[in-house]
Amino acid sequence: MSLDAHVVTHRGDFAVDVAVQTDPGTTVALLGPNGSGKTTTLDAIAGLLPLDGGHVRVSGVTWADAHTVLPPQRRRTGLVAANHLLFPHLTALENVAFGPRSRGLGRSAARARARAELDALGIGDLAGRRPTALSNGQAQRTALARALATDPAVLLLDEPLSALDPTTRAEVRAGLAHRLAGFAGVTVLVTHDPLDALTLADRLVFVEAGRVVQSGPPAEVVARPRDAYVAHVVGLNLYAGETRSQTLVETSVGPVVTSGHDHVGPSWVSFAPAAVSLYPARPGGSPRNAWECTVRAVEIVGQTARVRLTDDASGEPVVAEVTTASVAELRLQTGATVWATVKATEVTAYPA
Protein backbone atom coordinates (compact mmCIF):
# COMPACT_ATOMS: atom_id res chain seq x y z
CA MET A 1 0.00 0.00 0.00
CA SER A 2 1.48 3.29 -1.09
CA LEU A 3 0.26 6.83 -0.52
CA ASP A 4 0.29 9.61 -3.07
CA ALA A 5 -1.33 12.70 -1.65
CA HIS A 6 -1.30 16.26 -2.91
CA VAL A 7 -3.39 18.35 -0.55
CA VAL A 8 -4.53 21.80 -1.69
CA THR A 9 -6.99 23.69 0.54
CA HIS A 10 -7.82 27.30 1.26
CA ARG A 11 -9.35 28.44 4.50
CA GLY A 12 -9.63 32.19 4.55
CA ASP A 13 -6.15 33.62 4.13
CA PHE A 14 -4.51 30.33 4.96
CA ALA A 15 -3.62 28.14 2.01
CA VAL A 16 -2.14 24.66 2.22
CA ASP A 17 -0.34 23.00 -0.69
CA VAL A 18 1.45 19.91 0.56
CA ALA A 19 2.47 16.79 -1.37
CA VAL A 20 3.28 13.54 0.44
CA GLN A 21 4.39 10.38 -1.36
CA THR A 22 5.51 7.28 0.38
CA ASP A 23 6.06 3.57 -0.18
CA PRO A 24 4.26 0.62 1.43
CA GLY A 25 5.21 -0.18 5.01
CA THR A 26 6.98 3.11 5.58
CA THR A 27 6.42 6.00 7.92
CA VAL A 28 6.56 9.60 6.83
CA ALA A 29 6.82 12.34 9.45
CA LEU A 30 5.28 15.76 8.88
CA LEU A 31 7.18 18.37 10.89
CA GLY A 32 6.56 22.06 11.20
CA PRO A 33 5.64 24.83 13.59
CA ASN A 34 2.09 25.16 14.98
CA GLY A 35 -0.36 26.33 12.34
CA SER A 36 1.82 25.28 9.43
CA GLY A 37 -0.83 22.98 7.91
CA LYS A 38 0.22 19.56 9.20
CA THR A 39 -3.13 18.64 10.77
CA THR A 40 -4.97 20.10 7.79
CA THR A 41 -3.02 17.71 5.57
CA LEU A 42 -3.94 14.75 7.78
CA ASP A 43 -7.61 15.71 7.91
CA ALA A 44 -7.70 16.05 4.13
CA ILE A 45 -6.22 12.57 3.70
CA ALA A 46 -8.80 11.21 6.16
CA GLY A 47 -11.59 12.94 4.27
CA LEU A 48 -12.54 15.19 7.19
CA LEU A 49 -11.74 18.28 5.13
CA PRO A 50 -12.62 18.81 1.47
CA LEU A 51 -9.83 19.31 -1.05
CA ASP A 52 -9.79 22.46 -3.15
CA GLY A 53 -7.27 20.88 -5.46
CA GLY A 54 -4.82 18.00 -5.75
CA HIS A 55 -5.64 14.39 -5.01
CA VAL A 56 -5.35 11.52 -2.57
CA ARG A 57 -4.51 8.10 -4.03
CA VAL A 58 -3.77 4.96 -2.06
CA SER A 59 -2.28 1.96 -3.87
CA GLY A 60 -3.65 3.34 -7.12
CA VAL A 61 -7.19 3.81 -5.75
CA THR A 62 -8.42 7.40 -5.85
CA TRP A 63 -9.90 8.57 -2.55
CA ALA A 64 -10.23 12.17 -3.65
CA ASP A 65 -9.58 14.28 -6.71
CA ALA A 66 -11.54 16.73 -8.84
CA HIS A 67 -14.09 14.02 -9.75
CA THR A 68 -14.17 11.64 -6.82
CA VAL A 69 -14.64 12.25 -3.13
CA LEU A 70 -14.94 9.28 -0.81
CA PRO A 71 -16.50 10.09 2.59
CA PRO A 72 -14.28 9.37 5.61
CA GLN A 73 -16.05 6.13 6.46
CA ARG A 74 -15.20 4.70 3.04
CA ARG A 75 -11.49 5.49 3.26
CA ARG A 76 -9.28 3.00 5.02
CA THR A 77 -7.62 5.28 7.55
CA GLY A 78 -6.92 5.08 11.25
CA LEU A 79 -6.63 8.32 13.20
CA VAL A 80 -4.88 8.86 16.53
CA ALA A 81 -4.78 12.38 17.94
CA ALA A 82 -2.90 13.99 20.83
CA ASN A 83 -6.04 13.72 22.93
CA HIS A 84 -6.88 10.00 22.78
CA LEU A 85 -10.56 10.74 21.95
CA LEU A 86 -11.71 7.38 23.25
CA PHE A 87 -15.52 7.27 23.41
CA PRO A 88 -16.17 7.87 27.11
CA HIS A 89 -19.31 5.72 27.23
CA LEU A 90 -17.54 2.59 25.94
CA THR A 91 -14.95 0.32 27.56
CA ALA A 92 -11.47 0.02 26.08
CA LEU A 93 -12.51 -3.21 24.35
CA GLU A 94 -15.72 -1.68 22.97
CA ASN A 95 -13.76 1.33 21.75
CA VAL A 96 -11.39 -0.89 19.81
CA ALA A 97 -14.25 -3.07 18.55
CA PHE A 98 -16.14 0.02 17.31
CA GLY A 99 -14.22 0.17 14.02
CA PRO A 100 -14.55 -3.51 13.06
CA ARG A 101 -18.26 -3.38 13.98
CA SER A 102 -18.72 -0.25 11.85
CA ARG A 103 -17.07 -2.02 8.97
CA GLY A 104 -19.52 -4.88 9.17
CA LEU A 105 -17.77 -7.46 11.33
CA GLY A 106 -19.98 -9.53 13.65
CA ARG A 107 -20.11 -8.75 17.35
CA SER A 108 -17.97 -11.60 18.64
CA ALA A 109 -15.50 -11.41 15.75
CA ALA A 110 -15.07 -7.67 16.36
CA ARG A 111 -14.48 -8.25 20.05
CA ALA A 112 -11.94 -11.00 19.33
CA ARG A 113 -10.11 -8.66 16.97
CA ALA A 114 -10.19 -5.88 19.56
CA ARG A 115 -8.79 -8.17 22.22
CA ALA A 116 -5.95 -9.21 19.89
CA GLU A 117 -5.08 -5.56 19.21
CA LEU A 118 -5.05 -4.71 22.91
CA ASP A 119 -2.89 -7.77 23.64
CA ALA A 120 -0.45 -6.77 20.90
CA LEU A 121 0.06 -3.45 22.69
CA GLY A 122 0.35 -5.12 26.08
CA ILE A 123 -2.87 -3.73 27.55
CA GLY A 124 -5.18 -6.74 27.20
CA ASP A 125 -5.82 -6.70 30.94
CA LEU A 126 -7.43 -3.22 30.69
CA ALA A 127 -10.08 -4.31 28.19
CA GLY A 128 -13.00 -3.81 30.58
CA ARG A 129 -12.05 -0.33 31.74
CA ARG A 130 -13.72 2.90 30.78
CA PRO A 131 -11.39 5.61 29.40
CA THR A 132 -11.64 7.60 32.64
CA ALA A 133 -10.06 4.65 34.45
CA LEU A 134 -7.04 4.56 32.11
CA SER A 135 -3.80 6.52 32.48
CA ASN A 136 -2.83 8.82 29.61
CA GLY A 137 -0.33 6.31 28.27
CA GLN A 138 -2.82 3.42 28.49
CA ALA A 139 -5.50 5.53 26.83
CA GLN A 140 -3.15 6.48 24.00
CA ARG A 141 -2.22 2.83 23.43
CA THR A 142 -5.93 1.96 23.37
CA ALA A 143 -6.48 4.70 20.80
CA LEU A 144 -3.66 3.23 18.70
CA ALA A 145 -5.20 -0.23 19.01
CA ARG A 146 -8.55 1.22 17.92
CA ALA A 147 -7.00 2.85 14.86
CA LEU A 148 -5.17 -0.35 13.87
CA ALA A 149 -8.15 -2.67 14.44
CA THR A 150 -9.68 -1.69 11.10
CA ASP A 151 -6.54 -2.67 9.14
CA PRO A 152 -6.12 0.83 7.75
CA ALA A 153 -4.20 1.43 4.57
CA VAL A 154 -3.04 4.75 6.01
CA LEU A 155 -2.43 5.28 9.70
CA LEU A 156 -2.67 8.95 10.63
CA LEU A 157 -0.92 9.91 13.86
CA ASP A 158 -1.52 13.53 14.88
CA GLU A 159 1.06 14.32 17.57
CA PRO A 160 0.21 11.05 19.30
CA LEU A 161 2.80 11.48 22.06
CA SER A 162 2.62 15.22 22.71
CA ALA A 163 0.17 15.01 25.62
CA LEU A 164 2.24 12.43 27.51
CA ASP A 165 4.81 13.05 30.22
CA PRO A 166 8.46 12.30 29.20
CA THR A 167 8.68 8.85 30.79
CA THR A 168 5.36 7.66 29.42
CA ARG A 169 6.24 9.21 26.08
CA ALA A 170 9.38 7.08 25.83
CA GLU A 171 7.41 3.93 26.70
CA VAL A 172 4.61 4.61 24.24
CA ARG A 173 7.13 5.63 21.56
CA ALA A 174 8.85 2.28 21.98
CA GLY A 175 5.52 0.44 21.79
CA LEU A 176 4.58 2.44 18.72
CA ALA A 177 7.90 1.72 16.99
CA HIS A 178 7.47 -1.99 17.70
CA ARG A 179 3.90 -2.05 16.38
CA LEU A 180 4.69 0.03 13.27
CA ALA A 181 7.51 -2.34 12.35
CA GLY A 182 4.90 -5.02 11.62
CA PHE A 183 2.42 -2.67 9.96
CA ALA A 184 1.91 -3.19 6.22
CA GLY A 185 0.25 0.16 5.53
CA VAL A 186 1.57 3.67 5.29
CA THR A 187 1.96 5.78 8.43
CA VAL A 188 1.80 9.56 8.39
CA LEU A 189 3.07 11.00 11.65
CA VAL A 190 2.53 14.64 12.54
CA THR A 191 4.91 15.87 15.20
CA HIS A 192 7.12 18.71 16.24
CA ASP A 193 9.35 16.54 18.34
CA PRO A 194 12.47 15.70 16.25
CA LEU A 195 13.06 12.61 18.37
CA ASP A 196 9.69 11.11 17.33
CA ALA A 197 10.50 11.88 13.72
CA LEU A 198 14.04 10.51 13.77
CA THR A 199 13.16 7.31 15.65
CA LEU A 200 9.90 6.46 13.89
CA ALA A 201 10.06 7.88 10.37
CA ASP A 202 11.63 6.68 7.13
CA ARG A 203 11.11 10.03 5.53
CA LEU A 204 10.74 13.57 6.86
CA VAL A 205 8.58 16.27 5.31
CA PHE A 206 9.01 19.76 6.75
CA VAL A 207 6.01 22.07 6.33
CA GLU A 208 5.99 25.79 6.94
CA ALA A 209 3.11 28.19 6.23
CA GLY A 210 1.26 25.54 4.23
CA ARG A 211 4.22 24.57 1.96
CA VAL A 212 6.80 21.82 1.99
CA VAL A 213 10.17 23.45 2.67
CA GLN A 214 12.28 20.29 2.69
CA SER A 215 11.80 16.56 2.51
CA GLY A 216 14.02 13.51 2.38
CA PRO A 217 15.41 10.62 4.42
CA PRO A 218 16.24 11.64 8.01
CA ALA A 219 20.03 11.20 7.57
CA GLU A 220 20.08 13.51 4.55
CA VAL A 221 17.86 16.15 6.13
CA VAL A 222 19.86 16.13 9.36
CA ALA A 223 23.14 16.50 7.46
CA ARG A 224 22.00 19.07 4.96
CA PRO A 225 19.13 21.29 6.20
CA ARG A 226 17.85 23.75 3.61
CA ASP A 227 15.59 25.85 5.78
CA ALA A 228 16.00 27.85 8.98
CA TYR A 229 13.26 25.91 10.75
CA VAL A 230 14.73 22.58 9.65
CA ALA A 231 18.16 23.67 10.85
CA HIS A 232 16.66 24.74 14.15
CA VAL A 233 14.95 21.36 14.57
CA VAL A 234 18.04 19.34 13.73
CA GLY A 235 20.21 21.72 15.77
CA LEU A 236 22.60 23.14 13.13
CA ASN A 237 23.69 26.67 12.30
CA LEU A 238 22.55 27.38 8.73
CA TYR A 239 23.10 30.36 6.43
CA ALA A 240 22.13 31.02 2.84
CA GLY A 241 24.82 32.35 0.51
CA GLU A 242 26.55 32.46 -2.87
CA THR A 243 29.79 30.66 -3.75
CA ARG A 244 32.74 32.95 -4.43
CA SER A 245 35.46 30.35 -4.90
CA GLN A 246 36.10 26.66 -4.15
CA THR A 247 36.64 27.47 -0.48
CA LEU A 248 34.65 30.67 0.06
CA VAL A 249 30.91 31.34 0.34
CA GLU A 250 29.53 34.85 0.78
CA THR A 251 26.66 34.40 3.31
CA SER A 252 24.24 36.40 5.39
CA VAL A 253 26.71 36.15 8.26
CA GLY A 254 29.60 37.33 6.06
CA PRO A 255 32.21 35.42 4.06
CA VAL A 256 32.63 31.84 5.30
CA VAL A 257 35.65 29.73 4.53
CA THR A 258 34.95 26.03 3.90
CA SER A 259 37.12 22.98 3.54
CA GLY A 260 36.30 22.97 -0.16
CA HIS A 261 33.24 22.41 -2.39
CA ASP A 262 32.71 21.76 -6.08
CA HIS A 263 29.50 23.64 -6.87
CA VAL A 264 28.86 27.24 -7.86
CA GLY A 265 25.97 29.63 -7.38
CA PRO A 266 23.44 29.73 -4.52
CA SER A 267 24.60 27.68 -1.61
CA TRP A 268 23.82 26.64 1.96
CA VAL A 269 26.47 26.69 4.62
CA SER A 270 26.05 24.75 7.88
CA PHE A 271 28.08 23.80 10.91
CA ALA A 272 27.30 22.16 14.24
CA PRO A 273 27.07 24.15 17.49
CA ALA A 274 29.81 21.91 18.95
CA ALA A 275 32.17 23.15 16.21
CA VAL A 276 31.88 26.70 17.49
CA SER A 277 34.60 27.87 19.91
CA LEU A 278 34.26 30.97 22.04
CA TYR A 279 37.04 33.40 23.02
CA PRO A 280 37.12 36.61 25.07
CA ALA A 281 39.08 38.37 22.29
CA ARG A 282 39.74 37.84 18.58
CA PRO A 283 42.03 34.80 18.40
CA GLY A 284 45.08 34.75 16.13
CA GLY A 285 46.19 31.65 14.22
CA SER A 286 44.34 29.16 12.08
CA PRO A 287 40.57 29.76 12.45
CA ARG A 288 39.57 31.96 9.53
CA ASN A 289 35.89 32.20 10.41
CA ALA A 290 35.46 34.55 13.36
CA TRP A 291 32.54 36.74 14.43
CA GLU A 292 32.20 39.23 17.24
CA CYS A 293 28.95 38.24 19.01
CA THR A 294 26.68 39.23 21.87
CA VAL A 295 25.39 36.52 24.24
CA ARG A 296 21.59 36.27 24.20
CA ALA A 297 20.95 33.20 26.36
CA VAL A 298 22.75 30.31 28.02
CA GLU A 299 21.13 26.93 28.80
CA ILE A 300 23.03 24.29 30.71
CA VAL A 301 22.28 20.65 29.85
CA GLY A 302 24.45 18.33 31.96
CA GLN A 303 28.12 18.97 31.24
CA THR A 304 27.49 21.12 28.18
CA ALA A 305 25.93 24.51 27.62
CA ARG A 306 24.03 25.83 24.62
CA VAL A 307 24.90 29.45 24.06
CA ARG A 308 22.65 31.54 21.84
CA LEU A 309 24.49 34.44 20.22
CA THR A 310 23.90 37.10 17.61
CA ASP A 311 26.58 38.25 15.22
CA ASP A 312 27.06 41.98 15.90
CA ALA A 313 27.79 42.81 12.27
CA SER A 314 24.90 41.00 10.54
CA GLY A 315 22.45 40.31 13.41
CA GLU A 316 22.32 36.63 12.39
CA PRO A 317 21.89 34.01 15.15
CA VAL A 318 24.75 31.67 16.00
CA VAL A 319 24.40 28.71 18.38
CA ALA A 320 27.45 27.38 20.18
CA GLU A 321 27.79 24.32 22.37
CA VAL A 322 30.60 24.59 24.93
CA THR A 323 31.54 22.96 28.20
CA THR A 324 30.12 24.29 31.43
CA ALA A 325 33.73 25.03 32.44
CA SER A 326 34.00 27.49 29.53
CA VAL A 327 30.83 29.21 30.67
CA ALA A 328 32.49 29.95 34.00
CA GLU A 329 35.86 30.84 32.47
CA LEU A 330 34.41 33.26 29.93
CA ARG A 331 31.75 34.58 32.31
CA LEU A 332 29.11 34.01 29.64
CA GLN A 333 26.11 35.99 30.72
CA THR A 334 23.43 37.67 28.65
CA GLY A 335 24.80 40.81 27.05
CA ALA A 336 28.48 39.76 27.23
CA THR A 337 30.63 40.14 24.11
CA VAL A 338 32.61 37.13 22.86
CA TRP A 339 34.33 36.01 19.70
CA ALA A 340 32.94 32.88 17.99
CA THR A 341 35.15 30.88 15.64
CA VAL A 342 34.66 27.83 13.42
CA LYS A 343 37.41 25.89 11.65
CA ALA A 344 36.99 25.65 7.89
CA THR A 345 37.09 21.84 8.15
CA GLU A 346 33.94 21.89 10.29
CA VAL A 347 31.89 23.83 7.72
CA THR A 348 29.77 22.07 5.11
CA ALA A 349 28.59 23.83 1.94
CA TYR A 350 26.01 22.39 -0.44
CA PRO A 351 23.94 23.74 -3.31
CA ALA A 352 20.70 25.50 -2.44
Partner 1 sequence: MRRLAGSSALLFALAGLGVALVALPMLGLLLRTDWGDVLDDLRSPIVWPAIRLSLITTAITLVLALIVGTPLAWLLSRSQGRAGRWLRALLTVPIVLPPVVGGVALLLAYGRNGVVGAPIFEAFGLRLPFTPVAVVLAQLFVALPFYVLAVEGAMRSVDRRFDAVAATLGASPTRVFLRVALPLAAPGIVAGAALAWARALGEFGATITFAGNLTGRTQTAPLAVYVSLQSDPQAAIALSVTMLAVSVAVLGLLRGRWSG
Q: How far apart are CA 234 and CA 268, in angstroms?
A: 15
81 sits near partner 1 (criterion: CB under 8 A): yes
205 CB neighbour count, 10 Å cutoff: 26
Could you give phi then psi for residue 63, rounded to 5 degrees?
A: -90, -35
Answer yes or no: are the C-beta atoms of 258 and 344 closer than 8 Å: yes
Q: Give min distance, CB of 289 to partner 1, in A.
A: 50
Per the CB < 8 A criterion, the answer to whether 186 and 22 are in contact is yes
Which residue, 55, 68, 72, is CA-closest to 8? 55
Q: Are 172 and 157 in contact (CB under 8 A)?
A: no
Can residue 268 be called a binding residue for partner 1 (CB under 8 A)?
Answer: no
> Residue 193 CB, nearest distance to partner 1 (Å)?
21
Nearest to 270 by CA among 219, 314, 319: 319
Cβ neighbours of residue 170 closer than 8 Å, sequence gap 6 or more = none
Q: How far is the CB of 267 from partner 1 (least distance, A)?
A: 44
Contact between 303 and partner 1 per CB under 8 A: no
Instruction: Say whether residue 73 binds partner 1 (CB under 8 A).
Output: yes
Site residue total, partner 1 (CB under 8 A): 25
Task: Check binding of 12 to partner 1 (CB under 8 A).
Answer: no
Helix, strand, or coil (residue 139): helix
Q: Which stretch binds partner 1 (CB under 8 A): 57-65, 70-78, 161-169, 191-199?
A: 70-78
Taking the complex as a whole, the smallest distance from the CB of residue 150 to partner 1 amounts, in Å, to 6
72 lines the binding site for partner 1 (CB under 8 A): yes
- Report d(CA 62, CA 73) in Å as an integer: 15
Contact call for residue 185 and partner 1 (CB under 8 A): no
Instruction: Please say which residue, 47 or 54, places its beta carbon nearer to partner 1.
Output: 47
132 lines the binding site for partner 1 (CB under 8 A): no
**Strand 211-216 versus strand 203-208 pairing type:** antiparallel
Query: What minimum distance in Å lies between the beta carbon of 177 and partner 1?
Result: 22
Question: What count of Cα atoms within 13 Å lies in the side-chain half-sphere of residue 225?
Answer: 19
Q: Which of residues 41-60 bind partner 1 (CB under 8 A)?
A: 43, 46-48
- List 34, 67, 89, 265, residue binding partner 1 (CB under 8 A): 89
Among 9, 41, 77, 187, binds partner 1 (CB under 8 A): 77
| Choice between 101 and 226, CB closer to partner 1 | 101
What distance in Å separates the CA atoms of residue 285 and residue 277, rounded to the nearest whole number?
13
Sole binder of partner 1 in the list 85, 112, 209, 330 (CB under 8 A)? 85
Q: How many CB atoms lie within 10 A of CB 70?
A: 15
Answer yes or no whether residue 87 interacts with partner 1 by CB under 8 A: yes
Q: Which residues bind partner 1 (CB under 8 A)?
A: 43, 46-48, 71-73, 75, 77-79, 81, 83, 85, 87-89, 98-99, 102-103, 146-147, 150, 156
